[in-house]
Structure 1
């Protein structure tokens, strides 16, 4: 015979309505009562029927996640598994599930979002990116469908809840760090120019150069995909410059790209950091394990995902709440790929 809410209530010596509120994680129930009821559920082997609960509440208890581009980039870059862990943690705390939308191109992803929203499969959506032009954002905004972005919106900044780092300041501090070590020929290897994170970091890099009265060289600014191959292509282009004009330091927008940069420089017989200093972003595990270990800006990826989940669930449960911007702190983790310029 299956265990019911009434059985749990009797075992825990509470009312059945209290058990229902504990399952829904109602904030009006004390932590002591929640612990007692959950212990009873564990003892009896009771598992809530979330499907029935969702039908009763006209809620799916599911959050949709939208990737920034092709599934190739998504599954290869370690940024995304880490941000997914954060999203999952935040969703699990409120007993929400996650549904991922992927595709081989932007059209497939857009159609997947439309089907997910119009099919009533999710209560809200997290965009795992921010683009300069984004028809998915416009679609969700026009429908007044609950959504949150990881990244700063290019438009409607005060009308969209978003979780972000201060990417302008992070890139400015990174550039200043290299300038303090004597570097003036500093290259910037950014990601897709349609991504707001690329725009913000480029502006921070340019701001630091201007403040230090260092001329900006257009040939030092390149944009590639957030993949190892993107870093390889960018550094090959930079190494085609005459030796006396080559950069002595590089800021790379992503650790996976930086790994491609390191591998290519090694193949060319160029030493890091003796010949060229490298500093990248994200501070994923590979940055510590690379040779040499990468200096990298820790953007607290897990926290980005966790705060995005929490913020979206707040918007779902309290639609009239004001829009907000959540800034996750960053810090430069200094390792062995960056050093003072060799005189």
Structure 2
């Protein structure tokens, strides 16, 4: 088994990121720490790849993709193949290859990115998500390495190149749509609030309620992680409230498919008993029964523009950060009903 940065870090009693910085000869690392790490590397027979660093002006013609740490679930969600299709289309136009980094945890993903950078495997990186306090984003900023993000960063928004929808407005739009249909009791499956997109859409939801003089009720908020086995327990709780919701907003189409099946098994009918609106407009959305009303976020162009922005950063070092907003639109089908 080959020796890894993690093995070196353990022997030297430092973080893996410190080993990466020693390999890069980062001036912030003390000579004492550098010597300890180098001794550990020598003891274990660890040999970093210095090829790309010795060819400083040579491009690898490759870009790295960083997936969410829950990689086992990534390709179950059609969002990711479609966004990667957008990225690869632009990369192909510019004769760039794609190098994918995955991990089962945030730490594993970070270590993979460190190896990708310090092994000289890529010219830039695209992060396919945005979360609060993301270590990979912080690492790339510290290294001053070209990267772009699909999603809005939680911090330093104007200093980081990113591509996103206006998710506050998207959250408001779907809520306004249901309010215009006469709904006042609107529940929301918002996803993890560690995700910036979920936070922004929830803000839009609350703003629409406020503008319509409808009180916000915490009991109408469902967290995605509670919806195991289709969310029978949580949906049952929701529908058993003294004033149950007449409409439901769901964070994405994939989860909506599961919830629609659960609601049907419970004996309720969509949209007769409960209207439902979602996000993403996946290909299967128009084939559900009834066809799903959803927000088209233009997934392909999120990926295409993220790759375009990154390639511009690679070609033009020192270029100011760029923010691209991809328009969204509500696709009205048959899961919303006037009351």
TM range (shorter): 0.7 to 0.9
1:178 aligns to 2:168 (yes or no): no
Contact between 1:162 and 1:326, CA under 8 Å: does it hold in 2?
Answer: yes
1:160-309 pair list within 5 angstroms: 160-225=160-225, 232-233=230-231, 236-241=233-238, 242=240, 244-309=242-307
Q: What's the CA shift for 1:283?
A: 0.2
Greater shift in the superposed pair: 136-145 or 67-76? 67-76
SS at match of 2:277: strand
Q: If the length of structure 1 is used for normalisation, what is the TM-score?
A: 0.80
Call closer, same or farther: CA 1:284–1:99 in 2, change over 3 Å.
Answer: same
Instruction: State the distance in 1 between where 2:327 and 2:74 align.
Output: 24
1:310-321 pair list within 5 angstroms: 310-321=308-319
Q: What's the CA shift for 1:138?
A: 0.4
Instruction: State the distance in 2 between where 1:230 and 1:291 align.
Output: 22
Question: Which residue is equivalent to 1:331?
Answer: 329
SS at match of 2:63: strand
Q: What's the CA shift for 1:265?
A: 0.3
SS at match of 1:120: coil
SS at match of 1:108: helix
Question: Which residue is equivalent to 1:64?
Answer: 64
Q: If the length of structure 2 is used for normalisation, what is the TM-score?
A: 0.81
Question: Which residue is equivalent to 1:83?
Answer: 83
Q: What's the CA shift for 1:191?
A: 1.5
RMSD: 2.0
Q: What's the CA shift for 1:68?
A: 1.7
Aligned length: 287
Question: Which residue is equivalent to 1:143?
Answer: 143
Question: Which residue is equivalent to 1:109?
Answer: 109
SS at match of 1:76: coil
Instruction: State the distance in 1 between where 2:300 and 2:330 align.
Output: 16
Instruction: State the distance in 2 between where 1:145 and 1:231 align.
Output: 41
Greater shift in the superposed pair: 236-245 or 96-105? 236-245
Contact between 1:297 and 1:333, CA under 8 Å: does it hold in 2?
Answer: yes
Q: In structure 2, list runs of 5 or more residues that go unmatched.
A: 1-54
Q: What's the CA shift for 1:69?
A: 2.3
Instruction: State the distance in 2 between where 1:263 and 1:300 align.
Output: 26
SS at match of 2:249: strand
SS at match of 2:237: coil
1:34-49 pair list within 5 angstroms: none
Q: What's the CA shift for 1:133?
A: 1.2
Instruction: State the distance in 2 between where 1:117 and 1:104 align.
Output: 19
Q: Residues 190-248 of structure 1: CA distance to partner in whole angstroms, max 9, x if unpaired? A: 122111000000000000001111011101112215x9x65822x63132243542111
Q: Residues 16-44 of structure 1: CA distance to partner in whole angstroms, max 9, x if unpaired? A: xxxxxxxxxxxxxxxxxxxxxxxxxxxxx
Greater shift in the superposed pair: 256-265 or 57-66? 57-66
Instruction: State the distance in 1 between where 2:73 and 2:285 align.
Output: 18
